[in-house]
């Protein structure tokens, strides 16, 4: 069927309709939709809106288009300058509503093989910044003398560096899951995150007590933050809460802004480097300092077979679980 000329109803709605067309019972739709994270839905919404407008303008069927039509659309986006990654995201979105035959099609596969030669996927950064820049800045900030806003920004930046984790993971830290041991603090993340899959272990963050310099010790900084926020957190269980009234749990976007503010204070060009660049900086530094690649993958949440680090994060044999964090702190 072809789309009538009306406004795009939204990614969630068209995905729901696609699932209904595939025979998923009404009672099962909400459960099935829950398989998609908010970030995935946001990404699919962008791609599906483009696909919707293309189908509407050209009188093509939205839910059951043929492969030549999909190729025509992908080519039109390519001609507008879309990157390999963007086109791959669009393909995934269309595959979700039409079916796996989109990704399995020889025509589509060959198109992307050609695309990889003409417009290969590129790392976001050609180089990255040295974590030592931030750590040197933190060494001059004694924790006990800091206001809550500065301490909050310092803690999230330290955690991002010494764990190599995404903001989406760090925003899910629950104070009930923080366990203090002799020489480290262990934090379990049971919440669903980007890399969550059935049968795959959830992240466990390791924060060593770095006695060489308490000002950059992530474990001591965390303990002080918990003490300072004890009286204002009410019943909030999330580790990070706002430092201005009304005190409440913060979002991933807020944490990213705090990290970006910190990088800016350190003189790092935030027009080039985002909060996510802490992941590049920490994993590259750990590699430079001799941390085993399997340990880096494990700490950063990549699978054993993932080539993500080698291809995108490793910019120009230790088994100790504290090795990743300690390699950053000793920069």
**What average pLDDT is seen over the chain?**
80
pLDDT of residue 292: 42
- pTM exceeding 0.75: no
Would the pLDDT of 279 be above 70?
A: no
* 186 burial level (CB within 10 Å; 0-12, 13-18, 19+): middle
Q: What is the CATH number of domain 131-320?
A: 1.10.443.10
Query: Does 103 have pLDDT greater than 80?
Result: yes
Provide φ and ψ at 305, rounded to 5°.
-90, 0
Find the mean pLDDT for residues 210-239. Answer: 91
**What does the pLDDT read at residue 297?**
43
Cα 171–Cα 143–Cα 256 angle in degrees, nearest 5: 25
Average pLDDT over residues 85-102: 92
What number is the average pLDDT over the span 183-199?
71
Q: Band of the pLDDT at 74, cuts 50, 70, 90?
A: very high
State how far the alpha carbon of 232 is from the alpha carbons of 172, 176, 226, 228, 239, in Å: 19, 17, 10, 8, 12
Residue 298 pLDDT more than 60?
no
Asked if the model's pLDDT at residue 76 lies above 90, the reply is: yes
pLDDT value for 12: 94
CA–centroid distance for 182 within its chain:
31
Where do you find CATH 1.10.443.10 in the chain? 131-320
Give SS3 for 303.
coil
| 11-118 CATH | 1.10.150.130
Confidence of residue 293 (pLDDT cuts 50, 70, 90): very low
DSSP state of 311: I
Residue 91, phi then psi, degrees to nearest 5: -60, -45
**If you average pLDDT over residues 219-235, what whole number do you get?**
93
Q: Please answer whether residues 65 and 55 qualify as being in contact, where contact means their C-beta atoms are separated by less than 8 angstroms.
A: yes
Q: How far is CA 185 from the centre of its chain?
A: 23
Q: For the chain, list the strands marked E by DSSP.
A: 178-180, 184-188, 204-208
- The bridge status of strand 204-208 relative to strand 178-180 is unpaired
Give phi and psi for 204, each to the nearest 5: -125, 115
Q: Which residue has the higher pLDDT, 130 or 108?
A: 108
- C-alpha distances in Å from residue 310, one per residue of 194, 196, 253, 276, 315: 20, 21, 27, 17, 9
311-to-53, 122, 126, 298 alpha-carbon distances in Å: 34, 9, 11, 16
Query: Contact 73/120 with Cβ under 8 angstroms?
Result: no
Report how far Cα 116 is from the mean position of its chain's Cα atoms: 24
Provide mean pLDDT across the span 104-128: 79
Whether pLDDT at 71 is above 80: yes
Confidence of residue 185 (pLDDT cuts 50, 70, 90): very high
C-alpha 225/C-alpha 217 separation (Å) is 12
pLDDT at 296 over 60: no
> Distance between the two ends of the chain, CA-based, in angstroms?
60
Segments of the chain assigned to CATH 1.10.150.130: 11-118
User: In the structure encoding, which two tokens stand for residue 31, read together?
Assistant: 């459960």
User: Greater confidence, 315 or 188?
Assistant: 188
Question: What is the spatial order of strands in the sheet that 184-188 belongs to?
Answer: 178-180, 184-188, 204-208
pLDDT at 286: 47
Confidence of residue 133 (pLDDT cuts 50, 70, 90): confident
pLDDT (mean) for 285-290: 50
For residue 247, what pLDDT band results from cuts at 50, 70 and 90? very high
Rounded Cα–Cα distance for residues 188 and 179 (Å): 9
Can you give the pLDDT at residue 85? Answer: 84
E strand map for 150-265: 178-180, 184-188, 204-208
Residue 40's pLDDT band, with cuts at 50, 70 and 90, is: confident
pLDDT digits (tens, 9 = 90+) for 197-217: 555 567 788 888 888 888 989
Q: How would residue 65 be classed by pLDDT, with cut points 50, 70 and 90?
A: very high
Tokens of 208: 């060593």
Q: 226-230 — which CB contacts under 8 Å span 24+ positions?
A: 226/175, 226/178, 228/148, 228/151, 229/148
User: The tokens of 90 are what?
Assistant: 């669009």
Percent of the chain at pLDDT exceeding 70: 73
Average pLDDT in the 24-49 region?
Answer: 89
């Amino acid at each position: 069927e072809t789309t009538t000329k009306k406004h795009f109803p939204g990614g969630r709605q068209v995905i729901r309709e696609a699932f209904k067309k595939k025979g998923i019972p009404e009672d099962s739709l909400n459960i099935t939709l829950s398989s998609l994270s908010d970030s995935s839905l946001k990404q699919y919404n962008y791609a599906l809106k483009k696909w919707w407008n293309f189908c509407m303008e050209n009188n093509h069927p939205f839910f059951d288009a043929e492969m030549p039509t999909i190729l025509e659309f992908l080519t039109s986006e390519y001609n507008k300058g879309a990157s390999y990654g963007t086109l791959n995201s669009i393909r995934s979105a269309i595959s979700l509503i039409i079916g796996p035959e989109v990704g399995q099609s020889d025509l589509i596969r060959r198109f992307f093989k050609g695309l990889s030669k003409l417009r290969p996927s590129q790392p976001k950064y050609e180089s990255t910044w040295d974590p030592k820049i931030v750590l040197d800045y933190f060494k001059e900030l004694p924790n006990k003398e800091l206001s809550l806003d500065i301490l909050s920004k310092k803690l999230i930046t330290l955690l991002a560096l010494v764990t190599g984790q995404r903001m989406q993971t760090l925003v899910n830290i629950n104070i009930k899951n923080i366990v203090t041991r002799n020489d480290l603090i262990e934090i379990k993340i049971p919440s669903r995150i980007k890399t969550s899959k059935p049968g795959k272990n959830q992240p466990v963050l390791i924060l060593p007590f770095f006695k060489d310099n308490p000002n950059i010790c992530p474990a001591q900084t965390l303990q002080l933050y918990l003490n300072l926020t004890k009286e204002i957190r009410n019943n909030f269980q999330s580790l990070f809460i706002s430092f201005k009234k009304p005190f409440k749990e913060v979002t991933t976007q807020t944490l990213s802004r705090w990290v970006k503010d910190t990088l800016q204070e350190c003189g790092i060009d935030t027009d080039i480097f985002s909060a996510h660049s802490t992941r590049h900086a920490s994993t590259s530094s750990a590699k430079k300092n001799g941390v085993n690649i399997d340990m880096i993958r494990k700490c950063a949440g990549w699978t054993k077979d993932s080539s993500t680090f080698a291809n995108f994060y490793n910019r120009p044999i230790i088994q100790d679980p504290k090795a990743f964090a300690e390699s950053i702190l000793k920069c």
